[in-house]
Amino acid sequence: MLELTLKRSLEQPVDGSRLSPNLIGTMPLTDLLALPMPSPGNDSIRLDDLFWVRCLSGPSDLVMLQGDCRQIHGLATQMSGGTLVIDGHAGDRLGTGMYGGFVLAGGDAGDEVAMGMRGGLLAVSQNAGDRLGAPMPGERSGIRGGDILVGGSVGSRACERMRRGTVCVGGRIDDYLAAHMNAGTVLALGPVAGQWGVGMRRGTLLFAEEPTGPTHASWSSSRSLELSFLPLVWNHLRSIQEQLESISSLVNRSLWKMLPIPSTRWVERRIGDMNFDGRGEVLMLQRLSSTSSAAISRDQDSESPSSHT
């Protein structure tokens, strides 16, 4: 295991795109210490100018960063394997183009987290900025696979043009959640601001709370349903959190606070955006008594069950 500890606080942004376990985990120590870490006006800065480096016992593909890394941008870019743990805050573009491995940030992260992500698991224990899972420059799709968990709040335009994958956010989500979403699953455990689902073509939005803001998307009237696939979603999210706890134990840190994953099968379902094919769905989670559930089941006995989009 590699442990990289910041020597000092950073006043200028630094390019951290080469700090991925699959790139530096097996690198000879002399090459690692001399690894370029470009910064505006200083292209000659080296990794050992910024970090104390230690090789510890543990998995060879595990890298831990210690310190306030908010000025280090692009960490885990194009990451394909291994585990990156950040014991502190992370900068912008964490996990850009990531398609494998595990990333756990124990603090906040900046804007454009998981931009263009294709696979793997990325978790931010506290808050993330704008454009979570957004498209990379010049691309039409945002996140195209993998799992993202954020323990706190996220900024605007989260999951824009999302195509595949699962995203779970524990806190508030700002405006334009899932704009032009094409597929995938988003679970919002906290409040959601306005203009959610605008231009949504397919995919699933799961809301634990009624969104607080309006939307200009066109949605059908709601309908109560019991959906048998939901326990699979809940089990998947619980399994992910168990993995995060295991990763924390590897570095002897408590970096992830477990999110309260729902257990209900009952939802109020709406479909839309009707202005864009109308094949996406919004599922408002319900907590019904067994008596209420039985009554709804009888009322809808003649109707065909919904399928997951």
pLDDT at 79: 96
Q: Indicate whether 309 pLDDT > 60.
A: no
Average pLDDT estimate for 158-182: 97
Q: Reply yes or no: is the peptide bond before residue 273 cis, omega within 30 of 0.
A: yes
What tokens were used for 18?
């080469």
> For residues 156 and 170, what is the distance between their CA atoms, to the nearest angstrom?
15
Task: Spell out the domain ranges in the chain.
Answer: 1-94, 111-298
Q: Indicate whether 21 pLDDT > 60.
A: yes
Q: Indicate whether 183 pLDDT > 70.
A: yes
Of 51-65, 138-152, 291-305, where does mean pLDDT reach its minimum? Answer: 291-305
pLDDT in tens, 30-39: 999 999 999 9
Confidence of residue 66 (pLDDT cuts 50, 70, 90): very high
pLDDT in tens, 155-169: 999 999 999 999 999
pLDDT in tens, 265-307: 999 999 999 999 889 999 999 974 333 344 444 444 444 344 3
Q: Report which of 62, 107, 103, 100 is spatially closest to residue 257, judged by C-alpha positions.
A: 107
